[in-house]
Chains A and B, each alone.
Chain A
Amino acid sequence: MEKLQRFGYPVFFAVMAVLPHLLNPRWQAVAITFLIFAVVALSQDIVLGKCGMFNMGQALFFGLGAYATAILNSKFGWPMLATIPVAILVPALFGILLAGPIVHLRGDYLLVTTIGFNIVFVQVLQNDLGGLTGGPNGIFGLDAMNLFGLRLASQVSVYYFAFAVLLFTLWLMHNLETSKAGRALHYLREDQLAAESIGINARVYKIFAFGLSAGIAGLAGTVYATQYSAVSPEAFDFIQSVLFFSIVIVGGSSVPGVLLGVFVMFVLPEIFREFATWRFFIFGFAMILAMILRPRGIWPAKFGRIPAYLVKESKHGA
């Protein structure tokens, strides 16, 4: 698989670079969605896959970013470009604040708590707290992104913006994997007790993972707001979080796995749109089957640069 990966990446990037010119507008929109969801799923992978924390509330941070952009643009007249730092920082800050009191929770309790955060978030949006979120209809009519005089009004230009964000995210993920922080997260996931005993501060690194992951998801939120020039609560429902969660696990929490996962979970259903009513029925079976046939995911993650003597066969899994 490593050889496949070496050839795979350049081919993947090359195809993605020319893709929008080969597609009709409907499939261009699907391709943009693929890019956005890939970024969110990769950010989810930092907490869930790299660190092994059961987070099922990623749509919350995705939504925070999208809403930060939408509110600043529509209510305060900020240019779209200027909202990007806020759309990264606000979710990152929320990620840190929310993670603080809960990172010590055992796996499944953490999972339910993060679902809870997501549901509270959607209710806040729907009830139009502070008159900012636009209630159940959301906010629409956002400006186009203006990149130093270049207006991202056409679908193709939004595509390249989304592609750039994906490349940035992949670069971040690559750096994370080879960095000290990335190794610390690996150790924590494999064996928290051992990791703490060699001096890794579990709490700090876990909160860091949440903050980083939330920031990236927030950036994806900005791209989402740009694509639709609108945001609404149901796009950030916890069912979306459940899907992102499933993508990472079905994919196997490696970068190619997550990309494959997004393709399987978001693009394939688009192809089968004509079988609309049967779609999710078959989809559910496919999820069960995928897990039975490949319990560690379609493309399981390999351990990066962890010394071999520290990697032991994990008995209770992820």
Chain B
Amino acid sequence: MDIFLQQLANGLTIGSMFALVALGYTMVYGVMRLINFAHGDLVAASAFVGLTIYTQVMGQATSLAAVIAIFLLTAGVMACVGVLLERLAYRPLRTAPRLSAVVSALGASLVIQNGVMLIWGPQMRIFPELVPQVYYTFGGVVISLMQVIILVLSLVLMIALYLFVEKTRMGAAIRAASIDQDAARLMGINVNQIIVLIFVIGSSLGAVGGLFIGLYYRGITFNMGWQYGLYAFIAAIIGGIGNIPGAMLGGMLLGLFNAFIAGYVSSTWADAFTFILLIVILIVRPTGILGERVAEKV
């Protein structure tokens, strides 16, 4: 029972990181119908950007204000990178065949990943300890302060995003653009602006996810983006891609599934089981758990 509760806590922590990253995939996919393969590398890059801001700008301060500043600055930098990415690699291909944009995304992923390697070097870097190591014990289950912060902050961000998309005018415009870009344009919505906006939101959330990954796992490498990116993307697909609550649900489910496989079966088979889960879900529900049935456009 202890293992169960412990893995439940770990799974929720990992799951909320997956969910934060998955939101970036799902929003871009929702509006542009494009798998943004570079998103995972943006997430990896943000851990390195955060590291540099900590050492160069903040002078290695770990006060609450400094930590908040690191998060905000990193999110700001990554939002700029995300917008730049869209402008350079995706906007010129908006009317091109869909696969061209996929290859462009793969190219962008290579550029970011190797850019990180050229700037910060190929070796593993250790992420600073921004949060004090405090542990709470609840009946045999050990939970760190870090895990609590990751869970709470992720939930707050996700609820904020959900309210933004569902309740504001801007959010309505995003939803409209994701249903039909042309119709949205006819209604006077500036679709270009919407796309820039989703890249800003997606990259900032990804940046927070990347900092969490650094804080939680400590060791960061330039090529870790593909792994986390792929997991987050699977989370988005499991939930039904293009669907914001779906990405959150998918992230949590995937995190829990992963933690339980690692806890009860074997960690060397974790990836394989995750993909088998994905394949089974897609065979049973081809558009994900919360995905609607989309009629093929002719």
Contacts and interface: CB of A to CB of B under 8 A. Distances in A.
Interface residues on A, range: 35 or more
A96 to B, nearest CB: 16
Given A109-B237, A113-B282, A277-B117, A292 B230 contact: no
B269 A123 contact: yes
Nearest to B230: A115
Interface residues of B, number: 51
Nearest to B291: A109
A155 B104 CA distance: 36
A302 interface: no
A287 B117 CA distance: 19
Give the most central of A108, A124, A192, A245: most B CB within 10 Å.
A108
Interface string B101-116: 1111011111111110
A204 B231 CA distance: 32
A239 B99 CA distance: 17
Contacts of A249: 99-100, 102-103
A280 interface: yes
A293 to B, nearest CB: 9
Interface in A48-79: 48, 54
A119 interface: yes
Interface string B89-128: 1001100111111111011111111110110001000000
Given A112-B234, A284-B108, A295 B272 contact: no
A305 interface: no
A286 interface: yes
A291 interface: yes
Interface in B217-261: 226, 230, 233-234, 237, 241
A201 interface: no
A112 B233 contact: yes
B51 interface: no
Given A113-B278, A292-B93, A285 B107 contact: yes
Given A107-B98, A287-B110, A119 B35 contact: no
A258 to B, nearest CB: 14
A93 to B, nearest CB: 18
B181 interface: no
Nearest to A300: B97
B52 interface: no
Contact of B272 (A109, A119, A278, A317): A119
A283 B113 CA distance: 12
Contacts, number: 146
B88 interface: yes
Q: Is the contact region of chain B dominated by helix, strand, or loop, or is it mixed?
A: helix
B279 A113 contact: yes
B98 A127 contact: no
Nearest to A121: B272
A277 B102 contact: no
Given A250-B103, A288-B107, A280 B114 contact: yes
A116 interface: yes
B110 A283 contact: yes
A19 interface: no
A87 B296 CA distance: 37
Contacts of A296: 96-97, 100
B144 interface: no
B286 A109 contact: yes
B271 interface: yes
A29 interface: no
Given A105-B286, A120-B275, A292-B104, A127 B89 contact: no
B268 interface: yes
B275 A277 contact: no
B89 to A, nearest CB: 5
Contacts of A117: 275, 279
B102 to A, nearest CB: 7
Given A119-B275, A288-B88, A295 B294 contact: no
Contacts of B108: 284, 288
B104 A291 contact: yes
A291 B279 contact: no
Interface in B47-99: 88-89, 92-93, 96-99
Contacts of B99: 48, 54, 249, 317-318
B297 interface: yes
Given A249-B102, A295-B97, A284 B279 contact: no
A127 B106 CA distance: 28
B103 A246 contact: yes
Nearest to B35: A108
B106 A246 contact: yes
Contacts of A119: 271-272, 275
B89 A112 contact: no
A106 B295 CA distance: 10
A314 B109 CA distance: 28
Interface of B: 29, 33, 35, 88-89, 92-93, 96-104, 106-115, 117-118, 122, 226, 230, 233-234, 237, 241, 268-269, 271-272, 275-276, 278-279, 282-283, 286-287, 294, 296-298
26 contacts: A101-B283, A105-B286, A106-B286, A107-B98, A112-B278, A113-B279, A115-B230, A115-B275, A116-B276, A116-B278, A119-B275, A124-B272, A242-B106, A278-B114, A281-B115, A283-B107, A284-B108, A284-B111, A284-B112, A284-B114, A287-B103, A291-B101, A291-B103, A296-B96, A296-B100, A316-B97
Given A108-B29, A192-B296, 10 more contacts: A102-B279, A112-B282, A116-B276, A119-B272, A245-B103, A287-B106, A291-B100, A296-B97, A314-B97, A317-B97
